[in-house]
Amino acid sequence: MTGHRKTLTALLSTLAIAALTAGCARDSNIVLSQQAVNNLNQEQPNVSLPEPSREFRAAWVATVANIDWPSSRDLSTDQQQEEMIDILDKSVDLNLNAIVLQVRPAADALYPSDIEPWSEFLTGVQGQPPQPYYDPLEMWIEEAHQRGLELHVWFNPYRAHHPSARSPISEDHIVKQRPDLAKEYGDFYWLDPAEPEVQEYSLSVIMDVLERYDIDGVHFDDYFYPYTSYADGADFPDGPSWERYQAAGGTLSRDDWRREAVNVFVDRVYNEIKQARPEVKFGISPFGIWQPGYPEGIQGMNQYEELYADARLWLNEGWVDYYTPQLYWPIDQAAQSYTTLLDWWIGENHHERHMWPGMYTSRVGDGSAQEFPPEEIVNQIAETRERGEKATGHVHFSMRAIMQNRNGLADMLREDVYTEPALVPASPWLLPGAPTRPTLYVDREGIRRMARWQPTGEDREIFRWVVQLRRDGEWETLLLPRQERSLNLQGNPDIIALRAVDRAGNISAPTIHQAGGTASPVGH
């Protein structure tokens, strides 16, 4: 080690010990001697550590029509919170690591907003806050993070009213405030994506949440222009915006003009997120077929022509951090094969963003003619894993079948599929580099040995801790939430290793304690 590195290591360790000592001063059982401080500056040999598993394991929690949460719009605050905790605890039990929560199903909000009214799917009446009052999104985030789960917020950028609504549209809703922007389409209302004011409005909603809440991701699903089946095949009523475009000398066809409006919005959302909070991921889950015939033999709805969603372009251009195409068909259904479509989307991933396909998990035991056996979901996960670094996770739609353990699905996932916890794959383009090595101290309290730690640097926020213990030559890996700072050491491990993980999933070099020795940052 050069003199410069010795000096830097000593400085970082001394600063960390000072912070650790201050934090432990309230505990009379801990005394950090000067010898302990000095020992932390001694370099120890490198130890070959097993790498923690990496896989994005998430589930959508849909609020529209009370699909997942809350299960009814008539629940009390206590009942809503109990259901929330049950979902999060089940996620931890299954070794999932993320939740994608729908917070804006129809130009409404499942959180306090000065822009849009409270959702009736929360309270039963649009515009009415929960009673007793609480902030559902704040609680979801806090409870998820306490469990080491990421919380992604799911917005519907254009849907303005859903036919499952029972209460009157509130006077402060955009359908009432700006009927020129919100178009009636069948039993729905839909914001006109080509209106510049719509783009500004929906972007303001997203940025408001981004600025006020400690979220980990922003998510869109497949709803851009509405499905034509919502209005018996009628064309979308965007005559005023189209006529203004033509009058201004626009040269695109009407279909291309619509697609370009969505393209501009997607690109802008991505860039605005990155300017405000670069560590927050942006993901889209488009309909699983871009166009029939891509790849050859694929049949089905054409989102490019019907939803005016050029989902291939967004992935080609890297306007996302992760992609979750909704591959809601069985592996062996040739015209819409899960694996065939997954491989096609992988081939379009020119910027090597995360590919985390969506699976129709709620098809398991749903009683329909298309019902899946639970083995279909297990096999789809196995096939995704076969793609290695090209597809590093998946998302379940939705939590309902998992919470109900349909046909033993949840048991099968826990026992056969998610046998150990996993970190979310890293997104190094969001936050380059890695966190500083943390400080680790091992002490004895009576007959117990305790490991305690603190972050060393302040260059970035820590999201998780990786603690690895070796006993009799066997390694155990623990993934702990960011607020955990100590561990009761059982079984007398001879090596304890600690690494920090930041908000983008980057992992630090380890700090290692060897039995009979002291903890030191090691590695290069």
pLDDT exceeds 80 at position 321: yes
pLDDT-derived band at 206, boundaries 50, 70, 90: very high
* Distance, CA of 153 to CA of 266 (rounded, Å): 16
pLDDT value of residue 492:
86
Task: Please name which of 192, 167, 162 lies closest in space to residue 178, comparing C-alpha atoms.
Answer: 192
**Mean model confidence pLDDT for the chain:** 91
In whole angstroms, give the CA distance from residue 479 to residue 466. Answer: 5
Identity (one letter) of the amino acid at 465? W
Determine the distance from the C-alpha atom of residue 247 to the mean position of all C-alpha atoms in its chain, rounded to a whole number. 42
Under 8 Å CB-to-CB from 253, ≥6 apart: which residues?
A: none
Residue 518 has a pLDDT of 53
Phi, psi of 42 (to 5 degrees): -85, 135
Check residue 259 and give its pLDDT. Answer: 98
Confidence of residue 458 (pLDDT cuts 50, 70, 90): confident
**Superfamily for 56-417?**
Glycosidases (3.20.20.80)
Backbone φ and ψ for 520, nearest 5 degrees, come out as -145, 145
Residue 515 pLDDT: 78
Mean pLDDT confidence for 433-449: 87
Q: Cβ distance 423 to 97 under 8 Å?
A: yes
| Residue 519: pLDDT over 60 | no
The stretch 241-255 carries a mean pLDDT of 98
pLDDT at 38: 37
pLDDT in tens, 69-115: 999 999 999 999 999 999 999 999 999 999 999 999 999 999 999 99
- Rounded Cα gap, residues 118 and 112, in angstroms: 7
pLDDT in tens, 472-501: 999 999 999 999 999 999 888 999 999 999
Q: Which residues contact 361 (CB under 8 A, 6 or more apart)?
A: 59, 377, 396, 397, 398, 401, 402, 409
- Domain 3-52+431-521 in CATH 2.40.30.20: no
The average pLDDT across 283-304 equals 98
Nearest one of 517, 449, 516, 513 to 47, comparing CA atoms: 513
> Where residue 380 falls among pLDDT bands split at 50, 70, 90?
very high
410-414 mean pLDDT: 98
Residue 386 pLDDT exceeds 50: yes
Question: Comparing 457 with 365, which gets the higher pLDDT?
Answer: 365
Query: Alpha carbon of 88 to those of 16, 142, 146, 247, 442: distances in Å?
Result: 33, 11, 10, 53, 32
Q: Where are the domains of the chain?
A: 3-52+431-521, 56-417
Answer whether residue 523 shows pLDDT above 50: no
Lowest mean pLDDT among 315-324, 427-436, 457-466: 457-466
Burial class (CB in 10 A: 0-12, 13-18, 19+), 366: middle
pLDDT for 47 equals: 86
- Burial bucket for residue 386 (CB in 10 Å: 0-12, 13-18, 19+): exposed
Quick one: which of 343, 306, 307 has its CA closest to 325?
343
pLDDT confidence of residue 517: 56
Cβ-based burial of 292 (10 A; exposed 0-12, middle 13-18, buried ≥19):
middle
pLDDT digits (tens, 9 = 90+) for 216-228: 999 999 999 999 9
First to last CA, the chain: 10
What is the rounded distance in angstroms from the CA atom of residue 225 to the CA atom of residue 259?
9
The predicted pLDDT at position 59 comes to 98
Show the CA angle centred on residue 73, arms to residues 67 and 77, nearest 5°. Answer: 115
Task: Name the strands in the sheet holding 188-191, side by side, starting at the edge strand that comes first in the sequence.
Answer: 159-161, 188-191, 182-185
